Amino acid sequence: MSRYDTFHPFARVLHWLMAIMILAMLFIGAGMVSTLAEKHATLLAIHKPLGMIIFVLALIRLGFRLVHRPPPLPADLPLWQKLAAKGSHYVLYGLMIVMPLIGWGMLSAGKYPVTMGGGFVLPPILPQDPALFAWLREAHRYLAWLFFLTFLAHMGAALMHGLIRRDGVLKSMTTGN
């Protein structure tokens, strides 16, 4: 097989590491805003630094992808599925980068300390503004839903490639062959 038929091992490691982190983030986010039990504080304390780690990894991953092009989709894949695959990847990459920035910006607009743990605080990236806080807070919520729905489509499509079409697309991100 040519080296274009699979993802670079570094890309595969980043993909699965970030898959776990992002899925954890979405569940932590949904849980922490709906509970007033003690775990609310714990979840909040994880959510902020984990979001920043995802942001940094997403930039590394995007940069790596630009110099290591992913393998092409199967030539016989219907056009609508090719477009859906391409579109959903734009959405996933966009959200990986935009969601942490919205979270950081929203805390800045609310003049909250952006705590990373151990007394380390990130500087604000936006001025204090309650209306801006509210817009960003709601954007964070609805984009998180979009993130989760896109994840479901992504996972469903990957399983479809692996179980129904068996065309090597899922393998290109797992075992690599």
Partner 1 sequence: MQDPRNPRPPSGLAWRWGVIGLAVVGAAAAFGYAGGWLTPDRLSPKKIVNVLQANSGLHPGYRRNHAKGICVGGRFEASGQLAAFSEAKLFAQGVSTPVVGRFAIPGGNPQAPDSSAPIRSFALRFDMADGEQWRTGMNAMPVFPVSTPKDFYDLNVATAPDPATHKPNPEKAKAFFSTHPETGPFLAWISQAKPPASYVDETYKSLNAFYLRDNAGQRHAVRWQVVPETPSTGDGGPAAGDTDYLAADLQKRLAQGPARWHLQFVFANDGDPVDEAAKAWPDDRKVVDAGTIVIDSWQPQADGPCRDVNYDPAILPHGMEISGDPIIVARSAAYAESYLRRTSEEGHLPGTERPKEAQ
What is the binding site for partner 1 (CB under 8 A)? 26-27, 30-31, 33-38, 40-41, 44, 76-77, 81, 110-113, 115, 118-119, 121-123, 128, 130-135, 137-138, 148, 151-152, 155-156, 159-160, 163-167
Do residues 172 and 71 touch, judged by C-beta distance below 8 A? yes
d(CA 103, CA 124): 11
Burial class (CB in 10 A: 0-12, 13-18, 19+), 77: middle
Of 57 and 116, the one with the shorter C-beta distance to partner 1 is 116
Tokens 């469903």: give the residue: 156
Q: At its nearest, how many Å lie between partner 1 and the CB of residue 111?
A: 7
* Residue 120 Cβ vs partner 1, minimum distance, rounded to whole Å: 8
Taking the least distance from each CB to partner 1, the nearer of 8 and 31 is 31
Residue (1 or 159) nearer to partner 1, CB: 159
Q: Kindly tell me which of 8 and 77 has the beta carbon lying closer to partner 1.
A: 77
